[in-house]
Amino acid sequence: MQRLALFDLDNTLIDLDGAFRIWAEEFAETRALGREAAGWLIALNREDLPHREAFFARVRERFALPDPVEELWTGYRRRMPYLVHCRLEVLTGLSDLRAAGWLVGIVTNGTADNQLGKIQRTGLVDAVDAYALSGIEGIRKPDTGLFEIAARRCGVNLADGGWMVGDHPVADIGGGHAAGLRTVWIDRRAWPGHEHSPDYVVTDVIQAIDILRDANE
């Protein structure tokens, strides 16, 4: 199998939940929303609403905010790239993979400004061969098309196989499997009730990188 490794971004290569907690505390503090607000925002985030617009509609209603939903969401997208970081060991793991002859890509759902900002600010832009963002391409995981774009940008054909690593059972594992890739699921105990059948289950992306390296030796 060719050495193609595709990774999800949020809560796979970067700790989005950790960054979200910081954002929630900042947001609550700046707007003087009270002691319970940050916890409420974090709990709402766990509900995994279908879209951030739906999230901010609930936030606006709950705190009777004057700002339009679109502005709240824009402010969030502008801030988040500054709150996320990629652990040095993850950046090193990716560069070790590439040194061993792997092609490495990011396949992520989200708006162009937010996802691109995070990829650039974390240094991941220099640690991978290519990325495919749903907000730019107009296709979302689990659609195979987004995996195809990432593979092509890495200079290879998706039909020749590879790996997908991610935390979302449907978008990453279901999507990766449908794209003909072997899959490593990062189990964050966050998706009760979702069906999935990954080839491997780990709790951290570093373990996934180790599996890839061993599998193709």
Shortest CB 188 distance to Mg ion, Å: 9
Nearest to 3 by CA among 90, 89, 105: 105
Other beta carbons less than 10 A from residue 19's beta carbon: 20
Cβ proximity to Mg ion: between 31 and 46 the closer is: 46
Strand partners of residue 5: 104, 163
Shortest CB 35 distance to Mg ion, Å: 30
- Provide CB contacts within 8 A for 56, sequence distance 6+: 69, 72, 73, 76
Shortest CB 186 distance to Mg ion, Å: 8
Q: Which tokens in the block code for residue 171?
A: 């978008």
Which residue has the closest beta carbon to Mg ion?
A: 10
Query: With contact defined as beta carbons under 8 Å apart, do 40 and 31 qualify?
Result: no
Cβ proximity to Mg ion: between 2 and 12 the closer is: 12
Cβ proximity to Mg ion: between 2 and 11 the closer is: 11
Rounded to whole angstroms, the Cα distance separating 37 from 6 reads: 36
Cβ proximity to Mg ion: between 10 and 129 the closer is: 10
Shortest CB 210 distance to Mg ion, Å: 20
Cβ proximity to Mg ion: between 22 and 190 the closer is: 190
Shortest CB 191 distance to Mg ion, Å: 10
Q: What is the DSSP string of 128-153?
A: SSEEEEHHHHS--TTSHHHHHHHHHH
**Residue ranges in contact with Mg ion by CB under 5 A:** 8, 10-11, 167-168
